[in-house]
Amino acid sequence: MDSLWRVFQDSVLRLWVACTYLFLYIPLIVLAVFSFNEIAFPYRWVGFSLRWYRELAISAEIWEATKNSLIVAGSAVFLSVTLGLFFVMWCSQQRRGNYLLSFFYPNLVVPEIVIAVGLLSLFVFLNVPLGIPSLIVGHTLLGFGYAVPIIYTRFNVLDKRLIEASLDLGATHRQTFVKIVLPLLMPAIVSASLLVFILSLDDFLMAFFCGGTSAQTLSLYIFSMIRSGVSPVVNALATVMLVVSSLLVMVFCSIKTKETIW
């Protein structure tokens, strides 16, 4: 009797998990499937077509938005990761370095809308024009919240004797950093970069408040498209972005497994 109950429990659990995954993925799959539909709507499957992808490829608006999103994301990654790296390294030299690091923890805790609105008020007050630069500022800020803890955690587990060994063998401080510290920090740097990149691409709130009217990013574009109703071009765009996200997830997971080896 007891084993029957266990089997029942097991099946319920499995059903629960299966339903959750279905729930998560059916909308996305449907979205993707209908991006290949021949006609717009109503939702009858007419035939396989790449028509909407072609429209996607020639849409100047979307390319503009993509370009802007990539510029912002790239700059945010570069700034937050490099400045964050320098900061973590500098902190390791100071007494009470970890107190200095907690300076950046609120970036993750404070709701993004508050940060965005704060930046907006500051820019308005200083008469700074809103656009790509102001957006880069905001995203770099959010990026710090991820980059600093990730790089710091990795640096902490680094065996400090390796640095001593390198110096002992005749390498100067700079050589030691380039040949030993940097390669060993690389997994953290790459995962932080990926995280910040995705964060920036997917971000909406910061762009909404600090982007101004001039800069159009992918998020803003999708938002305006949703407001105006359903469109198969958006389906196509969504599918493309899903594929890109999947690739990035695979890269991220492979780094995580490599990290555990070292």
Partner 1 sequence: MDKETISTTFTTFLWGVPALLWQVLFFYVPLIFLLASSFIKHSESSFEITLEHYRLLLDPVYLYVLGRSLLLALTTVTACLIIAYPVAYYISLRLKRWKTLFFALLILPFWTNFLLLVYAWYFLLENDGLLNMVLLHLGFITEPLHMMNTQAAVLCGMFYCYLPFMLLPLYSTFERFDERLLDASSDLGATQWQTFTRIMVPLTLPGIKTGALLVFIPAFGEFVTPSLLGGDKHMYIGSVITHYFLTMRNVSVGSAFTCLASCALILILFMVFMGHSLLTKKEHHG
Partner 2 sequence: MKTIYLKDICKSFDGDVILNKFSLTVPEGKFFAVLGPSGCGKTTVLRIIGGFQQPDSGTVMLGDEDITNMPIYKRRVSTVFQNYALFPHMNVFDNVAYSLHIKDLDRELIKQKVVKVLRAVRLELHMYRSIQQLSGGEQQRVAIARAIITDPEVLLLDEPFAALDVKLREQMLIELMDLQETLKTTFVYVTHDQVEALTVADQMAILNADGQIEQIGTPQQIYEFPASSFVATFVGKMNLFRGILKTVQDDVCVDVPDLGVFKAYIPARQEWMQEGREILMGVRPEKIWIGKKREEQFSNVIIGKVEAIIYHGYATQYGVQMKNGMMVQVFEQNEEHFPKEKIDYDDQVFLHWQKENVVLLER
Interacting residues with partner 2 (CB under 8 A): 159, 161-162, 164-172, 175, 179-180, 183-184, 261-262
Binding status of residue 105 toward partner 1 by CB under 8 A: no
150-155-156 Cα angle (round to 5): 100
Phi first, then psi, for residue 72 (nearest 5°) are -60, -45
Applying CB under 8 A, which of residues 22, 114, 157, 182 lies at the interface with partner 1? 114
Task: From 49-57, 58-66, 88-96, 184-192, give the range in contact with partner 1 by CB under 8 A.
Answer: 88-96
Nearest alpha-carbon partner for 245 in 216, 206, 202, 208: 202
- As a 3-state breakdown, the chain gives helix, strand, coil percent values, each rounded to 5, of 80, 0, 20
Q: Pattern of binders to partner 1 over 190-229, x per CB under 8 A?
A: --------x--xx-xx--xx--------xx--xx-xxx--
Binding status of residue 174 toward partner 1 by CB under 8 A: yes
**Closer residue to partner 1 in complex, CB, 60/257:** 257
- Partner whose footprint covers residue 15, from partner 2, partner 1, none (CB < 5 to 8 Å by kind): none
- Partner whose footprint covers residue 132, from partner 1, partner 2, none (CB < 5 to 8 Å by kind): none
Secondary structure (3-state) at 41: coil
Chain residues 26-85 in contact with partner 1, contact rule CB under 8 A: 27-28, 30-31, 34, 41-44, 83-84
How far, in Å, CA of 8 to CA of 19, rounded?
16
Task: From 48-56, 70-78, 171-179, 182-190, give the range in contact with partner 1 by CB under 8 A.
Answer: 171-179
How far, in Å, CA of 48 to CA of 110, rounded?
46
What is each CA distance from 141 to 50, 65, 98, 137, in whole angstroms?
A: 39, 21, 19, 6
| Contact between 211 and 223 (Cβ < 8 Å) | no
Secondary structure (3-state) at 85: helix
Q: Supply the minimum distance, in Å, between the C-beta of residue 259 and partner 2.
A: 11
**Closer residue to partner 2 in complex, CB, 126/261:** 261
Q: Supply the minimum distance, in Å, between the C-beta of residue 236 and partner 1.
A: 12
